[in-house]
Amino acid sequence: IVLTGGDDRLWKTWGFPDGNILMTGEGHTDWLSGCCFRPSGTQLVTSSGDTTVRIWDLSRRGCILTLRGHSRAVRGCSWHSCGDFVASASMDGTSKIWDVNSERCKYTLRGHKESVNSIEFLSFSSTVLTSSADKTLSLWDVRTVSRL
């Protein structure tokens, strides 16, 4: 299964290698910039130009949580390998670590001078990698909310 999101405000799962659409999700009000499956495969996260991050439950075929807190478009998202945390990167110059269980922002990462364009958790660690339009990469320890 392949997951995509695009300018049409939709995410889609595709059967591979046949290329047939298995499921489509709608709810964002602007383009999708990122999407990825929860490690368990039962949910997915999307990020959007509408400033939100959304969690989707595949069995319910719908959005179960909308995370709000960025002031500009969200450029990317990532699940932690444990499945309890989502990271988001925004054009507002911040990144956020969201606790999916409490449905709240746990940490806001500040330090880039321009848009944060991507974010990834390093596998099985508390380290996040961000890239920015300020031409820098940063490694963050999300336990202490500090750059490494």
Nearest to 58 by CA among 43, 36, 39: 43
Q: Which SS3 state, helix, strand or coil, does residue 121 take? A: strand
Q: Which domain holds residue 24?
A: 2-147
pLDDT higher than 70, residue 10: yes
From CA 24, how far away is CA 100, in angstroms rounded? 22
- Residue 148: pLDDT above 80? no
Total number of domains in the chain: 1
Q: Determine the straight-line distance between the first and last CA of the chain, rounded to whole angstroms.
A: 35
| pLDDT above 90 for 29 | yes
Q: Quick one: pLDDT at residue 36?
A: 95
What percentage of the chain carries pLDDT values higher than 90? Answer: 88
Query: Tell me: the pLDDT tens digits for 108-123?
Result: 999 999 999 999 999 8
Rounded Cα gap, residues 114 and 53, in angstroms: 20
From CA 130, how far away is CA 87, in angstroms rounded?
A: 10
pLDDT digits 0-9 by tens, 45-73: 999 999 999 999 999 889 999 999 999 99
Mean pLDDT rounded to a whole number for the chain = 95
Q: What angle do CA 62, 91, 101 make, to 5 degrees?
A: 40
Residue 61: the pLDDT is 81
CATH code, domain with 21: 2.130.10.10
CA pseudo-torsion sign 131, 132, 137, 142: negative
